[in-house]
Structure 1
Amino acid sequence: MPDGINMGDTAFMILTTAMVLFMTPGLAFFYGGLARSRSVISLMMQSFISMGIVTMVWIFGGFGLAFGRDHGGVIGSITDFFALGNVGVEPHAMYGSTIPFIMFFAFQLMFCVITVPLMTGAFVGRMNMKGYIVFLIFWTLLIYVPVCHWIWGNGFLAKWGFVDFAGGTVIHTTAGFGVLASLLVLGKRIMKKGANTQPNNLMATAIGTGILWFGWFGFNSGGSLAANMVAATSFVNTLIGLSTAMVVWMIYAKLRRGKILFTDVLTGSVAGLATITPASGYIKPASAIIVGIVAGIICNLGVEFARKLDLDDALDVWGVHGVGGFTGTILIGFLADESVNKVTASPHQLWIQIAGVVLVAAYAFMITYLLLKILTKVMTVELSPEQQLEGLDKTLLQEQEFIKN
C-alpha cells in the first residue's frame, strides 16, 4: 500500500463519490417529473449523456486544466494529467493526502458531470441534442474548468482567501448565472395558447428529490476529502439546511399564495441544499439554521423576480441554484467559525466572498452568452417553432414516454 494512504478515508471517498454520481440520474428524475411530458425523454437524456461526454473531457485535458500546475492563477496545465497520466493510487500532497489521487480525480469528475445538467431545467424544450452536446463540451472547458481552478486548483481566488467548500460557487453560481444568459439568447418557449405547463409526474420528481437528498450528503461531506470532524459537521449542516429551508419555503408559500403545494416541499429542500453547500464545511450547525431560513426566503424571491422579468426559466433554476449558491457563498463571510475549518467570519472575509462570487457570476454569464451567440451563428442549436410545439421527444428522438401535454 502506498505511503500515507488511510483506508478509512479511502473507503469514505469511494462512498461519497458513488453518492454524487447517483445525483445526476436523480436530477434527471427531478427535472423529468417537473417538465411537460413531451420533453421528458430529451431532458432526462441531457442529464445521462453528460456522464459520458464530460468524463471524456475530464480525462483528455479538463482535469489537468483544473488541477494541474498553476499558470498565472488563471488555469492549470493540460499536459499534467492528460489521459490519466500521473493519476494513480499514490496520494497527492495537495489534493487528499490520505487517499489515492485517482479517487480525487473521480470525486471531482462527479461534480463536473452534474453542473451543465443543472442548467437544462431552465431552457428545456428549446435546444436540440446536437447543440446541447457541443454546448456541454465548450461550457465545461470555458467556464467550469477555469472557475474550478481559480477556487479549488490553487488559482487566484484561492490565493485571495476565497473559499467554497462543496460547490456553491463552482457549480451552482456558474450554472445559475449561465442560465440567465441562455434564457436571453434562446428566448421563451413556443407553446400553444392555453398549453398545460404543470408537472407531468410528481412521483418521478419526488423520487428524484429523494435521490438528490441522499447524494447531497456525499456531495458536501466529501469536500473534506477525509472521514473527519469537518465531514461530520458538513453532514449535519446539510441536513439542517435542507430541513430549515423546506419549512421556511412552506411558510412563505402559505403566506404568499394561500396554500402549500408538493412542489413547494420538494423545491424548498433543494434550495436549502444549494445554499448550504458552499458554507457546509465552515460553519457550526446552529448557523446552518440561519442559512436555511435565508434560503427559504431569498430563493423564493429569486424565483418571483425571474417571473416578474418574464424570463422563461422553466424549472426555476436561477432562483433556486443560482441565487442559492450565490447567497450561501456570501454567508460564509458572516457565519464562518475558525474552530470548524480554519476560516473566520470577518469584514475582510466577507469582502473576499462577495468579490469572488460576483466575479464568477459575471464571468459565467458573459461567457455563456458569447458561447451561445457564436453557436447559434455557426450551427443549428434551437428547435424550430414546429419542433417546440411538437416536442423534441417526438420530432427528433422519435421516443415518447407520454403524449398528454
Structure 2
Amino acid sequence: MKRKYFLAFILLALALTSLLIDFEPSATPNSVKVQFDSGDTAWMIVATALVLLMTPGLGFFYGGMVGKKNVISTMLQSFMAMVIVSVLWVVIGYGLSFGDSWHGIIGNPFDNLFFNQVGVDRSWSLAPTIPLLLFALFQAKFAIITPALITGAFAERIRFWAYLLFMVLFILVVYAPLTHCAWHPEGIFFKMGVLDFAGGVAVHMSAGWAALAGAIFLGKRKNQKNSPARITYVLLGTGLLWFGWFGFNAGSAMGANHLAVQALSTTTVAAATASMAWVFYDKIIGHKLSAMGACIGAVVGLVAITPAAGFVSIPHAIFIGLFSSVASNIIVSKFPKGKIDDALDVFSCHGVGGMVGMLLTGVFASKEINPAIEHQGLFFGETKLFFSHLLVLILVSVFSFVMSYVLFYVVNKITPLRVSHEKEELGLDITQHGEYL
C-alpha cells in the first residue's frame, strides 16, 4: 500500500511541476544561433528513430537467451527503459549531461529542467546545423539503451521494482557524469583529447562494469543451465540492433556528411568481421558454428567499433572487429561462471568490447579520416592519445564498477533486489507480472 501512495505522489508531483515550471523554449548560453541544414536535420531525425529501435531489438536479443519462464520480464526491462528514461531525460537527465559544466564533471540541470531552454531555434555548439531539441532527443536514446544493456547480467533473478529504481539512480549518478566528461566541450575527458565517437565510455564501458557489479551483488541463480527460449528472437534482435546501430554510429556525425558515411562503413565491416571471427574461432577450438555465436560476435563488433567509428579506416575497422571478437570469446570461455553469474555475458561482451574499442581507437585514430582530431593514434607514431585513452579506461572502469555496486547496495536497502528462491523457480513472468508465454 505504501508503494501505491509513493507512486501516486510521483505522478502528481510530475504533473504539477510540468504545469508550474516557467518554460522558455530558447537556447542555453553555450549554444549558438545558426541556419539549420535540412539534410542534416532529416538524417538526424531518422538516426534518432534508429537508435530508439535498438532498445526493443535488445529486448528480443536478451529475451531469446533466457529461459522460457523469464522471457516477458526480460523484454519488459528493455521496454520500460524506453518509458522511464525518456521522462527522466526530459526532466533532469539532459541538464546533468549537457548543461553548463561544473568543473568538467557534471552539468547544471536547473536551466534545462523539463527541457526548459531546449528549443528548435538554437543548436548545440558541436552540432550547429540541427536544432538543439533534436540533439537532445538523439542523446536521449543513448541514455535509454545503457541501463537496458545491464539487465542481461542479472537476468532471471531481479525484482522488477528494484530494477526500475536502480535504473533511475544509474542514469543520474553514473551515466550523466560520464556523458558530460566525454561529450561536453568542457568535460574533463573531452578536454584531455579523448576520442569517443558514439559511446564507448558512457554507454558500453559503464554498462559492462555495472553489469559485473550487479552479477556479483545479486549472486548466482539457482539454475544457471536454462535453455534459451527462442534462438529466433536472438537472430531478430541482432538484426534490429545492427540496423539501429547505423543511427547510433553514423548519427553521431551529427549530420549527413562524410563522417556519417565513414562511420556507417566501419560499423558494417566491424560487425561482419566480428561475427565471422567468433564462429571461426568457435570452430577452431572444437565448437559447432552456432546462430547464437554468430549473433553475439556481431554485437561485440558493433560495440568495439562504436568509439572508433568516425576516426579509423575500413581496414583498421576490420582489425578492431576481429580482435574484439576473439578477445571477448576468450573472456566468455574463461569467465568464472561458477563464482560470478553474469547470465548473458554482458561484461565479457559489452565491457570487454567497449574497452578494446577505446584502446584501439587510441591506436588507429587518423587525421586522414577525421582532420578535426588533435592527436593521431599509436599506429601513426604518436603516444599521447593512446595513453590518454588508457588512463580514462582505468578511471571509467573503477568509477562505473564502484558506483554501480554502491547503487545496488543502496537500492537493496530500500527494497530487496532479488526475488525469493520460490519466485525464481516459478519464473519472473508469472511472479512479477502475472503473465506468461
Q: Shorter-chain TM-score: which interval?
A: over 0.9
CA distance in 2, matches of 1:309, 1:400: 29
The aligned residue for residue 402 of structure 2 is: 366
- Corresponding residue SS for 1:314: coil
The aligned residue for residue 395 of structure 1 is: 431
The aligned residue for residue 377 of structure 1 is: 413
Match runs of 1:184-223 below 5 Å: 184-191=216-223, 196-223=225-252
Alignment of 1:183 with 2:219, yes or no, is: no
The aligned residue for residue 7 of structure 2 is: none
Residue 193 of structure 2 is aligned with which of 134, 139, 161? Answer: 161
- Corresponding residue SS for 1:278: helix
CA RMSD of aligned residues (A): 1.3
- Corresponding residue SS for 1:310: coil
- Corresponding residue SS for 1:81: helix
CA distance in 1, matches of 2:195, 2:333: 29
Alignment of 1:135 with 2:166, yes or no, is: yes
CA distance in 2, matches of 1:118, 1:199: 18
- Corresponding residue SS for 1:307: coil
Match runs of 1:114-153 below 5 Å: 114-153=145-184
The unaligned stretches of length 5 or more in structure 1 are none
Q: How many pairs are equivalent?
A: 397
Q: Tell me how far 1:196 sits from its aligned partner.
A: 4.8
The aligned residue for residue 226 of structure 1 is: 255
TM-score by length of 2: 0.89
Taking a change above 3 Å as real, the CA distance of residues 93 and 206 of structure 1, as seen in their structure-2 partners, is closer
Which amino acid in 2 is paired with 1:299? S
CA distance in 2, matches of 1:122, 1:184: 9
CA distance in 2, matches of 1:139, 1:74: 16
Asked whether the 8 Å contact 2:59–2:78 carries over to 1, the reply is yes
Which amino acid in 1 is paired with 2:101? D
- Corresponding residue SS for 2:180: helix
Which amino acid in 2 is paired with 1:316? D
What are the Cα deviations for residues 366-393 of structure 1, in whole angstroms up to 9, with x where unaligned? 0011111122122222101111111111
Q: Tell me how far 1:308 sits from its aligned partner.
A: 5.5
The aligned residue for residue 310 of structure 1 is: 339
Higher relative contact order (CA 8 A, sep 6+): 1
Asked whether the 8 Å contact 2:124–2:135 carries over to 1, the reply is no
Match runs of 1:222-371 below 5 Å: 222-307=251-336, 310-341=339-370, 342-343=372-373, 344-345=376-377, 346-371=382-407
- Corresponding residue SS for 1:292: helix
Asked whether the 8 Å contact 2:124–2:132 carries over to 1, the reply is no
Q: Tell me how far 1:304 sits from its aligned partner.
A: 2.0
Asked whether the 8 Å contact 1:143–1:364 carries over to 2, the reply is yes
Asked whether the 8 Å contact 2:218–2:417 carries over to 1, the reply is no
What are the Cα deviations for residues 168-200 of structure 1, in whole angstroms up to 9, with x where unaligned? 111000000111111111000123xxx752211
TM-score by length of 1: 0.96
What are the Cα deviations for residues 334-369 of structure 1, in whole angstroms up to 9, with x where unaligned? 101112223311211000011112211110100011
Taking a change above 3 Å as real, the CA distance of residues 93 and 28 of structure 1, as seen in their structure-2 partners, is closer
CA distance in 2, matches of 1:136, 1:189: 21
The unaligned stretches of length 5 or more in structure 2 are 1-32
Residue 86 of structure 1 is aligned with which of 111, 117, 127? Answer: 117
Taking a change above 3 Å as real, the CA distance of residues 124 and 93 of structure 1, as seen in their structure-2 partners, is closer
Asked whether the 8 Å contact 1:32–1:204 carries over to 2, the reply is yes
Taking a change above 3 Å as real, the CA distance of residues 370 and 34 of structure 1, as seen in their structure-2 partners, is same
CA distance in 1, matches of 2:38, 2:267: 25
CA distance in 2, matches of 1:292, 1:75: 32
Percent identity between matched residues is 38
Asked whether the 8 Å contact 1:122–1:312 carries over to 2, the reply is yes
The aligned residue for residue 204 of structure 2 is: 172
Please identify, of 197-206 and 103-112, the stretch whose mean Cα deviation from structure 2 is larger.
197-206
